[in-house]
């Protein structure tokens, strides 16, 4: 018999981002229609829902600037739908995609209906909410959960510092679709589209265009490499509030012709862009507590056999093994990032070796089937612990 889980997550496909992908990929492998997912109504969701094996409930979860707090309607709608479902069905557990808003709504529904709560923690949300009411509410939700899944050792340590009991924390890395992200995909047309001639090198970044990702640092490195006579281009996939600033920086550095802002790319093209690049780079850094909790893009690059350069901030040590699958450097140190990038572009055997080792690690540890299996094992153990006598 299928397990019955009620999953509350604002982030779910077709919303972009690693967290949305994580929940869609894992829960489709954990069961069918008995798993109910309550999530946000977004453009393109009808096509996703028609193909997804779980039961999807879509709600209007937009924040309202005229409300105080702006997320009040989101909390109320999540709670109302979750309570109605939990009151009519005995689920094995209620799962929450984050501490807030989903975790708080899950806690209240669980208290009223007698369910257990499992909550996911991703890292960056644990460091950016200051010490005010929102922080205290988040900590309450995390401490009240029966089990918390951390996406990295970094996130696990943050949870412990917040007072979550160690025996309640489980470590499960996110994963990647190794059928979709793989080496050997055709990509010459993509490089040709950018005007990259034979022998030209391509550096790639994928992610939201925001300061903590370190894309401005990469652009400074591209400028230095081109000034030294190296034919290297830079492609950025993603959108964000730093787009205008990065465009202005490209002009200031005189590399407008070498920097390509691709925005969102078609789903089938993303793995091909990873194949097209020589090195994947995202030298993330911490800015006002905002940091990278894991970095699924590094795993996607590794799945395509590419070496990666990551920042040393946050939880990237779980995604990039320094000196094994790529390098981790101080994202605030332009010289250090440039040195590693130049090293990988100049030493193709080393770059290939790191990429090959990253690919082997992904195939051994990060396929979604393996992540789902580890999650299923955790849930079975959690269920057994709940019914075992003290």
Q: Is residue 181 part of a domain?
A: no
Residues 278, 336 within the same domain: yes
The pLDDT of residue 130 is 65
Residues 171, 221 within the same domain: no
Residues 17, 155 within the same domain: yes
Q: What is the DSSP string of 308-358?
A: EEEESSTTGGGT--BTTTEEEE-TT-HHHHHHHHHHHHH-HHHHHHHHHHH
Q: How far is CA 372 from CA 29, 198, 251, 323, 341, in A?
A: 6, 41, 45, 28, 34
Q: What is the CATH number of the domain that holds 124?
A: 3.40.50.2000
The pLDDT of residue 387 is 53
121: CB partners within 8 A, 6+ apart: 98, 99, 142, 148, 149, 150, 151, 155, 158, 159
Residues 237, 375 within the same domain: no
The pLDDT of residue 344 is 98
Residues 128, 204 within the same domain: no
Mean pLDDT computed over 275-282: 98
Rg (CA), the chain: 22
- pLDDT tens for 314-338 read 999 999 999 999 999 999 999 999 9
Residues 331, 344 within the same domain: yes
Domain limits for position 287:
188-365
Residues 148, 212 within the same domain: no
* Phi and psi at residue 319, to the nearest 5°: -95, -35
Q: Is residue 46 part of a domain?
A: yes
What's the predicted TM-score (pTM) here?
0.92
Residues 76, 199 within the same domain: no
The pLDDT of residue 288 is 86
Is the bond into 101 cis (omega within 30 degrees of 0)? yes
Q: Report the percent of the chain where pLDDT is more than 90.
A: 87
User: What band does 129 get if pLDDT is binned at 50, 70 and 90?
Assistant: low
Q: Is residue 278 part of a domain?
A: yes
Q: Is residue 73 part of a domain?
A: yes
Residues 63, 138 within the same domain: yes
Q: Quick check: 128 pLDDT over 80?
A: no
Residues 131, 267 within the same domain: no
- pLDDT tens for 186-226 read 999 999 999 998 888 999 999 999 999 999 999 999 999 99
Q: Is residue 183 part of a domain?
A: no
Eight-state DSSP code of residue 103: I
Question: Can you give the length of the chain in residues?
Answer: 390
Question: What stretch of H or E contains 275?
Answer: helix 270-276
Rounded to whole angstroms, the Cα distance separating 285 from 207 reads 14
Q: Quick check: 146 pLDDT over 80?
A: yes
The pLDDT of residue 289 is 84
Residues 36, 171 within the same domain: yes
Average pLDDT, the chain: 94
Q: Is residue 245 part of a domain?
A: yes
Residues 150, 259 within the same domain: no
User: What band does 2 get if pLDDT is binned at 50, 70 and 90?
Assistant: confident
Q: Is residue 214 part of a domain?
A: yes
Q: How many domains does one find in the chain?
A: 2
Q: Is residue 16 part of a domain?
A: yes
């Amino acid at each position: 018999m299928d397990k019955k889980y009620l999953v509350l997550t604002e982030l779910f496909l077709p919303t972009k981002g690693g967290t949305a992908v994580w929940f869609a990929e894992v829960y489709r492998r954990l069961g069918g229609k008995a798993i109910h997912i309550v999530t946000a109504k977004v453009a393109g969701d009808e096509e996703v829902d028609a193909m997804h094996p779980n039961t999807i409930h879509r709600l209007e979860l937009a924040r309202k600037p005229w409300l105080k707090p702006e997320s009040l309607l989101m909390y109320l709608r999540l709670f109302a739908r979750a309570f109605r479902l939990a009151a009519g069905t005995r689920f094995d557990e209620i799962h929450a995609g984050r501490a807030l808003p989903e975790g708080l709504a899950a806690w209240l529904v669980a208290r009223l209906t007698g369910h257990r709560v499992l909550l996911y923690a991703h890292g960056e949300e644990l460091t950016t909410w200051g010490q005010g009411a929102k922080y205290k509410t988040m900590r309450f939700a995390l401490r009240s959960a029966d089990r918390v899944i951390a996406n990295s050792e970094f996130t696990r340590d943050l949870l412990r510092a917040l007072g979550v009991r160690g025996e309640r924390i489980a470590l499960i890395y996110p994963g990647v679709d190794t059928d979709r992200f793989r080496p050997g995909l055709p990509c010459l047309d993509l490089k040709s589209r950018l005007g990259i001639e034979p022998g030209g090198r391509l550096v790639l970044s994928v992610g939201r265009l925001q300061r903590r990702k370190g894309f401005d640092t990469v652009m400074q490195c591209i400028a230095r490499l081109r000034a030294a006579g190296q034919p290297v281009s830079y492609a950025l996939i993603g959108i964000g509030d730093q787009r205008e600033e990065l465009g202005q920086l490209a002009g200031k550095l005189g590399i407008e012709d070498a920097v390509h802002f691709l925005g969102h790319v078609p789903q089938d093209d993303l793995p091909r862009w990873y194949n097209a690049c020589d090195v994947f780079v995202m030298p993330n850094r911490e800015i006002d507590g905002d940091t990278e909790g894991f970095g699924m893009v590094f795993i996607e690059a590794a799945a395509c056999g590419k070496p990666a350069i990551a920042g040393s901030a946050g939880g990237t040590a779980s995604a990039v093994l320094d000196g094994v699958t790529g390098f981790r450097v101080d994202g605030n140190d332009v010289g250090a990032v440039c040195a590693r990038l130049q090293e990988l572009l100049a030493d193709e055997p080393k770059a290939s070796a790191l990429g090959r080792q990253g690919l082997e690690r992904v195939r051994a540890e990060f396929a979604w089937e393996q992540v789902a299996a580890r999650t299923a094992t955790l849930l079975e153990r959690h269920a057994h612990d709940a019914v075992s006598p003290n």
